[in-house]
Homo-oligomer: A and B are copies of this chain.
Amino acid sequence: MADELDRTDLKILRLLQANGRLSNADLAAAAAVSPATCHRRTQRLFEEGYLTGVRALVAPHKVDRGTLVMVGVVLDRSTPESFGAFEAAAAKLKFVLDCHLVAGDFDYFLKIRVGDMADFNRIHGQQLIALPGVRQTRTFFVMKEVVDNAPLEF
């Protein structure tokens, strides 16, 4: 985590995270450097992996993905093969936004977006409990999204 980032780099990161459509000219003005400098800095931030991409945010409820569900998963066995098989299969599911191996009462936590509860019930029965090595799942329907996917503060 050796920070080779100066004030300007940090400013560029924060500005682009807030608005990825910012033109290089506007970005340069906001970061108080010349456009040419800004352009080189930004390119470097991409090349060195500080910025991994730029993504437009689609409103979930506008494309029939308005229902959010958190699912805790417990596996049968705690072997590397078991974990590997589960992860490979879970990562392929289109409705899985997050899949994290955790320490605690569950093995994995999934964050899932679907159209509605009926949709989720079908997916749960047909795809989630059918994932390799799943012993048990616990479903937490999200009733209110207070904060979802907030930008990183640093």
Q: Which residues of A contact B (CB under 8 A)?
A: 1, 3, 5, 13, 16-21, 49-66, 68, 70, 87, 90-91, 94-106, 108-109, 111, 113, 115, 138-154
Contact = CB atoms under 8 A, between A and B. Distances in A.
A18 to B, nearest CB: 7
B142 A101 contact: yes
A55 B58 contact: no
B63 A50 contact: yes
A140 B104 CA distance: 6
A12 B99 CA distance: 27
B58 A90 contact: no
A146 B56 contact: no
B63 A13 contact: yes
Nearest to A95: B153
B62 A57 contact: no
Most buried by B among A58, A70, A105: A58
A98 B58 contact: no
Nearest to A86: B146
A75 to B, nearest CB: 13
A68 B99 CA distance: 12
A52 to B, nearest CB: 5
A144 B138 CA distance: 20
A130 B52 CA distance: 35
Given A63-B152, A104-B139, 7 more contacts: A18-B55, A50-B58, A52-B58, A64-B154, A98-B148, A100-B145, A102-B141
